[in-house]
Amino acid sequence: MITRLNHLADYIRSSGRRYRIAIAWAQDPNSIGAVLRAANEGFLEPVMLGRKQEIIKVCENLEIDYKGLNITESAGDYEACRRAVEMARSGETDIVMKGLVSTDRFLKAVMDKESGLMEPGAILSYVCALDIPAYRKLLFITDPAVIPFPDLEQKIAMIRYAIDMAGRFGIKRPRIALIGATEKVSRHFESSLDYAAICKMAERGQLPDCIIDGPVDIFLACDPESPGIKGVKTVLEGDADILLFPSIESCNPFYKGLMLFAGAELAGLIRGTFKPVVLMSRNESLLSKYYCMALACMMAETGNNQPQS
């Protein structure tokens, strides 16, 4: 059982394996610092794609010895993304990571139908584990980065991805909270109608083994005292492992607020690809980027790593 993100990093370091990672448009101080920490600890071998002189300058400013690094010149940010994806697809690298390039340009390369990393018929989504000092365990959330307003099919995919990731951390039967502003199903909140359908699917055994309820608010999901205080019965009992949000507009500010005001760190990945894809906000800390790379190594170790025809 991996209960904190530093335990995840310990697990990867102890495996003794080195994973290869291609960073697209790599002249980003936090990315370089995190990558080189992982490389120095022996579990990452980076390929840095971008403007070579800018990458060297960042290394010099960080007082990092860059002479042994694999730094590859790229003509532009999209060329760096395309090449990073190509390297992962061909097996030259195990992981792809976004650097200073914009998310839409990075995902354009990842999602390319001919040369990208998408699994056939997959839904692209994002799952991350939050390590929050005030919470007693890791909290997985989805989707803060990719799907603006997920429909029912997308929500089901998000749940499956989150259950799979939680399982890699040793959580065998996760508690999943379907987050809303109220615990009542209402036509005024379209997501609550999807939540009712999802709960019915879980009752019928149509989802992987989990405990699921919604709509519920954050208190009912994560505070053991709140069900009693509010007089609401929920199988979650205020002990959620996974929170599914109805939109990026609700999920993204939630996790960023926790990072800014509560000292949280995260490890997250794109799901729906056959190689791990690290996609992070440029504001996120060096430590979170480091944890994302450790997570990517764990997922690379156990996931599907070949394109499917």
**CATH number of the domain where residue 171 is located:** 3.40.718.10
Number of domains comprising the chain: 2
Same domain, 151 and 186: yes
Task: Identify the CA nearest to 143 among candidates 285, 291, 243.
Answer: 243
The answer to whether residue 187 scores a pLDDT higher than 90 is no
Nearest to 139 by CA among 251, 276, 38: 251
Same domain for 284 and 238: no
Which pLDDT band, with edges at 50, 70 and 90, does 184 fall under? Answer: confident
107 band by pLDDT with thresholds 50, 70 and 90: very high
| pLDDT at residue 115 is higher than 60 | yes
Give yes or no: residues 263 and 285 share one domain.
no
Residue 172: which domain range? 126-270
Q: Are residues 73 and 52 in the same domain?
A: yes
131 and 266 share a domain?
Answer: yes
CATH code at position 24: 3.40.50.10950
Q: Given this model, what pLDDT does residue 190 score? A: 85
Question: What confidence tier does 110 reach under pLDDT thresholds 50, 70, 90?
Answer: very high
238/160 same-domain check: yes
- Beta-carbon count within 10 A of 112 CB: 16
Pair (203, 306) in one structural domain:
no
94-105 mean pLDDT: 93
Residue 116 and residue 247 in one domain: no
> Which residue from 101, 73, 92 is spatially nearest to 21, judged by alpha carbons?
92
Q: Which amino acid type is present at position 295?
A: L
Indicate whether 106 and 171 sit together in one domain: no
Contact criterion met (CB below 8 Å) for 19 and 44: yes
CA torsion 106→108→114→118, rounded to 10°?
A: 70
**197 and 171 within one domain:** yes
132 lies in the same domain as 241: yes
- Tell me, yes or no, whether 284 and 262 share the same domain: no
> pLDDT digits over 242-294, tens only?
999 999 999 999 999 999 999 999 999 999 999 999 998 877 888 999 999 99
Nearest alpha-carbon partner for 194 in 177, 178, 207, 181:
178
The per-residue pLDDT for 307 is 57
For 148-173, what is each residue's pLDDT tens digit? 999 999 999 999 999 999 999 999 99
1-54 pLDDT, tens digit per residue, is 999 999 999 999 998 999 999 999 999 888 888 898 999 999 999 999 999 999
pLDDT of residue 303: 52
